[in-house]
Amino acid sequence: MTNYLVSGKDNTCYGCRACEQICPKNAITMKPNKEGFAYPVLDADKCVKCGLCAKICPHDNPMEAPEKPVDVFAGQYLEEEALLGSSSGGIFSAVADYVLANDGYVAGCLFDEDFVAVHMVTNEKKTVEKMRGSKYVQSDTKDTYAQIKALLDENKLVLFSGTPCQVDGLKRYLRKDYQNLITMDLICHGVPSPYMLSTYLDTVRAKKGPITQLSFRNKKRNGWGAQGSIGYGNKVKSISRFNNSYYYYYLQNSISRKCCYECKYSSVSRVGDITVGDFWGAQDVLPELNVEKGVSAVLANTDKGLTVLNELKQNLLLTEVELETVAQNNGNLVEPCQMPKKRNEIYARIQQKGYDAIAKEECHFQYVVPFIRRHIPKSLKKALKRVRKG
């Protein structure tokens, strides 16, 4: 039995769903807790006490990963459209394209029609394109681990991309190494609950009508950085921590799953064959790169990961860099984010009063920033733009 199923402590489960998917008696079902994060619930009548769930739980077992990467790079995909649709250097798309070209399957996260983040397994390029870009919310892995196992057993090449806890969940679920599996984990800041995102989106829908698009990182509109966009009606608005309450809460680390604040994967010892993240500060180290289009920090953690990257060399700009250089600008590669004192209160108050009321009370910038913007003279705006472009 897993620790969470014994203790019921929210910080003892990553929500990866490995236990649910491995249970031979279907005795475990994932259900949302009060905050909207999925947790396993055991049907004791169905449980035969085989102990498989505890044996494979990523939280309860020590992490098995190389101490540090084999090699570290700054990376950028040369395929322009894919690069611009990705959050950083498009490395996910580069590896996914390689896998599809080798008759393989890609498992990654996309938004469904209601903007719920889910994992899917596919061999269709159109679906892989929807997997591009970071969704700042916990994704539901559904039954993808079982689907992946079936494909691996058929000798298909499979790429799985997700948070490190999801990668570890998959590897433990599989219980053996597959040469035909490539795993890619993200440097991860933490994941908010699906409820938090949906309750925020509901407030937008109530005021503006149906949502047509949502991107947390929209390079085509804003360049490479922590800015995205939301669309409703025939309008598309830029969002960032300065004008959007959800983004603000997210980057303040205020709404992550409890285990994220104690995440053992926030380390240079990584579970995936390849790790990808934003290479913040790339312009200082690699001035020759077109940084505006995004650069990834790429960690080849295993020989398999390095082999895949080497095979892609013609399609990627890859420059070797020091691990320390990446870690310096990327705190989550070294330690997890700290839990702000307000975190629990935010979830509790949103449940009581509703998202909009709380966001209005706490995120005054929503009104201040547009007000300031409206009142800055055009000449000053132009001067600021020139400064930003350097």
Ligand X SMILES: Cc1cc2nc3c(=O)[nH]c(=O)nc-3n(C[C@H](O)[C@H](O)[C@H](O)COP(=O)(O)OP(=O)(O)OC[C@H]3O[C@@H](n4cnc5c(N)ncnc54)[C@H](O)[C@@H]3O)c2cc1C
Site for ligand X in 252-291 (CB under 6 A): 276-278
Which run of H or of E encompasses 50? Answer: none
88, 89, 91, 92 alpha-carbon torsion, rounded to 10°: 30
16 by DSSP, 3-state: which?
Answer: coil
For residue 91, the tally of other CB atoms under 10 A from its CB is: 30
Quick note: the x/- pattern for ligand X over 176-215, rule CB under 6 A, is ----------xxxx-x------------------------
Residue number, 93 or 245, with CB nearest to ligand X: 93
Identity of the residue, 42 or 316, whose beta carbon is nearer to ligand X in the bound complex: 316
Q: Is 132 in the site for ligand X (CB under 6 A)?
A: yes
DSSP class of residue 61 equals S
Query: Among residues 32 and 370, whose Cβ is nearest to ligand X?
Result: 32
DSSP-derived 3-state class of residue 302? coil
In whole angstroms, the minimum distance from the beta carbon of 193 to ligand X comes to 12
Q: How far is the C-alpha of 5 from the C-alpha of 7, rounded, in Å?
A: 6
One of 15, 40, 69, 89 touching ligand X (CB under 6 A): 89
Q: Are 245 and 200 in contact (CB under 8 A)?
A: yes
Residue 218, interface with ligand X (CB under 6 A)?
A: no
Residue with tokens 């890619």: 184
98 binds ligand X, rule: CB under 6 A: no
Distance, in Å, from the CA atom of 163 to the CA atom of 165, rounded to the nearest integer, reads 6
Phi and psi, residue 300, nearest 5°: -90, 105
- Pick out residues in 65-84 that bind ligand X (CB under 6 A): none
The span from the CA of 102 to the CA of 94, in Å, is: 13
Q: Which is nearer to ligand X, 5 or 18 (CB)?
A: 18
Q: Which is nearer to ligand X, 2 or 161 (CB)?
A: 161
Interface residue with ligand X, options 12, 21, 33, 87 (CB under 6 A):
87
Burial of 375 (0-12, 13-18, 19+ CB in 10 A): exposed
Interface with ligand X, residue 308, by CB under 6 A: no
Q: How many residues at the interface with ligand X, by CB under 6 A?
A: 33
Q: Does residue 330 interact with ligand X by CB under 6 A? A: yes
According to the binding rule CB under 6 A, does residue 224 interact with ligand X?
no
Residues at the interface with ligand X (CB under 6 A): 86-93, 108-109, 117, 131-137, 139, 161-163, 186-189, 191, 276-278, 296, 330, 332
